[in-house]
Structure 1
Amino acid sequence: MSLPILDMKAALLIIGLIVCLPVHAEIYKYVDESGQVTYTNLPKRGAKRLNLGPVATPAAPARKKEVGAPANFPRVDGSTQRKRDDLRRSVLQDELRTEERNLAEATAAQKAGEVLRSGEQPGSASWRARNDKLRDIVKLHEDNIRALKKELASIK
């Protein structure tokens, strides 16, 4: 005999609720004739029931909110910082020009790679692999250019 689907769902729900009930057990402390202490959840003659109460969990330590740099942190004057920013801007602009040049070369190589080589079929595994690799190189340079432009925009 099979249960209808609804009855099976109801049975699973009831089983799930029973399993999820909180566990509650009494704890007993028993000291035998030789003085050995035993803790158990089974009551024994001469055992004392312990009232443990709710379990206390330790509070998380308060985090210190750090504001700014520590007092002994070396300070840089405005003109020195401007010089550093200018140097950083110059380096990033050089990198941006290099990446733009590399992107142009990679785009040209991608267009050349789309041309079928002798004996190659359109959509063949070798043709797809070559074009996928070239497309990845183009994407890499495009991502680098985006990152460099974002970095340049963040310089004061």
Structure 2
Amino acid sequence: MKAALLIIGLIVSLPVHAEIYKYVDESGQVTYTNLPRRGAKRLNLEPAETTAAPARKKEASTPANFPRVDSNTQRKRDDLRRSVLQDELLTEERNLAEATAAQKAGEALRSGEQAGSASWRARTDKLRDIVKRHEDNIRALKKELASIK
């Protein structure tokens, strides 16, 4: 079994060779094909030379003349950003609590309404979307806060 796989592997790995023909029709259209046809000329193509790609210089991610910020200034900017994000996080957490309470109240059936009715479903879907949006915002804010050095 191993010998058969080895033989198949060797056969498959042999270089493929195909003859290439160039055919020009009456209207001047040039066609290259591996199928011989009347009036086509066989092309003798030498194997393409392969060379390694030249090594690329690693370019700086920012231009050399780009203004630099000293570490003290950057630390102040990061602190301010952290403070703003924490304030937004507190606001979103408050909004989530309110939206969750509104969702629970909105899921209660109103007089003459049936669970699963179109109006009930529309109301609860809207409230569920609002809760989800606040949860997504909280996740994003926590991710941003974690990325600040």
What does the per-residue CA deviation read over 1:91-148, in whole Å, with 9 as the maximum and x for residues that have no partner?
1111111111110110111011011112110121221221111111101101111111
Instruction: Calculate the TM-score normalised by the size of structure 2.
Output: 0.67
Instruction: Calculate the TM-score normalised by the size of structure 1.
Output: 0.65
Mark the structure with the bigger radius of gyration: 1
Following TM superposition, by how much is the alpha carbon of 1:48 offset from its aligned partner in structure 2, in angstroms? 5.5
Matches within 5 A, 1:6-155: 24=18, 26-27=20-21, 41-44=36-39, 49-54=42-47, 64-155=57-148
8 Å CA contact 2:22, 2:31 repeated in 1: yes
Q: CA RMSD in A?
A: 3.4
Q: Structure 1: 5+ residue runs without aligned partners?
A: 1-21, 31-35
Aligned residues: 127
Q: Structure 2: 5+ residue runs without aligned partners?
A: 1-15
Following TM superposition, by how much is the alpha carbon of 1:60 offset from its aligned partner in structure 2, in angstroms? 7.3
8 Å CA contact 1:92, 1:152 repeated in 2: yes
